[in-house]
């Protein structure tokens, strides 16, 4: 439909279906947990709760809300037992809590969690820096937590951090990545997210790892990609993931977040940027792009930010949207 004379065009994705593109993709929002955990100023629990509610109102149905970690690890998330129960009335929304060990799982269950996430590392250096354990020990803990959570009837998602590159060790052995992800899948993780923690992945690398996992019996449809945009490759890697059969992608509202343990790692892929791409390809997400941009501006204001990394939110704001 043409824009009436005298009115400005409302910026939105121009839809052109891509051959073999799926009809629908799951957008897994990590902003309330991964996006906020690196913030130095303490954010009130009520702000975190409101952020999750606004994201749900914008159409997102998969939100990683918090993490039950020791306070000394991530002080920002010490209010997990307050945040998670306050979201119990969000109908049709999967609210997920990350748990690092059995104690964290116990706390999550006490808070009413129905879905949890576990995290491992594909490298020894990052496992010791991030998980305070050797790589294999951290994997054993995650497998134990996954089985215990499944025993409680909880859904479990697995993360493999440093799946593409490590700031200390450099390139990561793809065989180790595949074996680690397969172990989580076999333990009962319904989805395993491959983390490009420092943003060094490229499309060919994405295809190769998905093929490696398929050879171990892990279908592409049970994988997710957790992408950082350090080198501007995140959206290209989304397209590669789609082509390889991945149907779930992590993102953070406004592009908030970074890995506090990885030197040089910048923000997550912005949810608005991901949704713009997917909608432009004719792929449904259930999300309202304008509403997401409004949420990004809202949380940016609460954090005292004059701008956020999201290119779409920045462009829509400049266009008066």
Per residue in 38-75, pLDDT (tens digit) is 888 999 999 999 999 999 999 999 999 999 999 888 99
Q: Which class for 202: exposed (0-12), middle (13-18), buried (19 or more C-beta within 10 A)?
A: middle
Q: Going by C-beta distance under 8 Å and a sequence separation of 6 or more, which residues neighbour residue 2?
A: none
Query: What Rg, from alpha-carbon coordinates, does the chain have?
Result: 19
Q: Residue 97 pairs with which residues in a beta bridge?
A: 66, 116
Query: Are the C-beta atoms of residues 209 and 238 closer than 8 Å to each other?
Result: no
* Catalytic position from the list 259, 270, 277, 293: 259
Q: How confident is the model at residue 224 (pLDDT cuts 50, 70, 90)?
A: very high
pLDDT of residue 308: 87
Query: Are the C-beta atoms of residues 248 and 262 closer than 8 Å to each other?
Result: no
Between the alpha carbon of residue 165 and those of residues 61, 162, 262, the distances in Å are 30, 5, 10
CB atoms within 10 A of CB 106: 14
Q: Going by C-beta distance under 8 Å and a sequence separation of 6 or more, which residues neighbour residue 23?
A: 283, 284
Residue 171 has pLDDT above 70, yes or no: yes
- Residues 224-230 have a mean pLDDT of 95
Residue 170 has pLDDT above 80, yes or no: yes
Nearest in space to 90 (alpha carbons), one of 46, 55, 118? 55
Query: Are the C-beta atoms of residues 96 and 63 closer than 8 Å to each other?
Result: yes
Between 180 and 230, the more confident residue is: 180
Between 244 and 131, the more confident residue is: 244
Looking up tokens 């490009």, which residue turns up?
Answer: 196
pLDDT tens, residue by residue, 105-153 = 999 999 999 999 999 999 999 999 888 899 999 999 999 999 999 999 9
Residue 29 has pLDDT above 70, yes or no: yes
pLDDT of residue 318: 86
pLDDT tens, residue by residue, 259-310 = 665 565 668 999 999 999 999 999 999 999 999 999 999 999 999 988 888 9
How far is C-alpha 318 from the geometric centre of its chain's CA atoms? 27
Looking up tokens 């134990």, which residue turns up?
Answer: 144
Q: Is 259 a catalytic residue?
A: yes
Collapsed DSSP state (helix, strand, coil) of residue 203: helix
CB atoms within 10 A of CB 71: 11
């Amino acid at each position: 439909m043409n824009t009436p004379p005298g009115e400005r065009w409302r910026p939105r994705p121009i839809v052109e279906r891509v051959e073999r593109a799926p009809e629908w993709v799951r957008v897994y929002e990590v902003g309330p947990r991964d996006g906020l955990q690196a913030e130095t100023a303490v954010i009130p629990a009520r702000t975190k709760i409101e952020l999750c509610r606004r994201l749900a109102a914008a159409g997102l149905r998969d939100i990683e809300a918090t993490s039950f970690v020791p306070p000394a690890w991530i002080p920002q998330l010490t209010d997990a037992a307050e945040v998670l129960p306050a979201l119990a009335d969000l109908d049709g929304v999967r609210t997920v809590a990350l748990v690092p060990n059995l104690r964290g799982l116990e706390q999550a269950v006490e808070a009413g969690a129905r879905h949890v996430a576990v995290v491992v590392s594909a490298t020894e250096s990052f496992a010791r820096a991030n998980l305070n354990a050797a790589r294999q020990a951290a994997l054993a803990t995650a497998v134990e937590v996954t089985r215990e959570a499944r025993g409680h009837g909880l859904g479990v998602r697995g993360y493999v951090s440093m799946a593409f590159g490590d700031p200390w060790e450099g390139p990561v052995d793809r065989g180790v990545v595949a074996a680690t992800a397969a172990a989580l899948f076999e333990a009962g993780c319904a989805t395993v997210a491959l983390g490009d923690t420092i943003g060094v992945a490229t499309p060919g690398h994405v295809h190769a790892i998905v093929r490696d996992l398929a050879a171990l019996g892990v279908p592409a449809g049970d994988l997710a990609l957790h992408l950082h945009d350090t080198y501007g490759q995140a959206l290209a890697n989304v397209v590669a993931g789609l082509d390889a059969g991945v149907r779930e992608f992590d993102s953070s509202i406004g592009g908030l977040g970074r890995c506090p343990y990885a030197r040089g790692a910048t923000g997550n892929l912005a949810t608005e940027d991901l949704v713009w791409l997917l909608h432009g390809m004719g792929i449904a997400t259930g999300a309202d792009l304008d509403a997401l941009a409004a949420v990004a501006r809202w949380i940016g204001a609460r954090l005292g930010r004059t701008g956020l990394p999201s290119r779409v939110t920045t462009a829509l704001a400049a266009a008066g949207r």
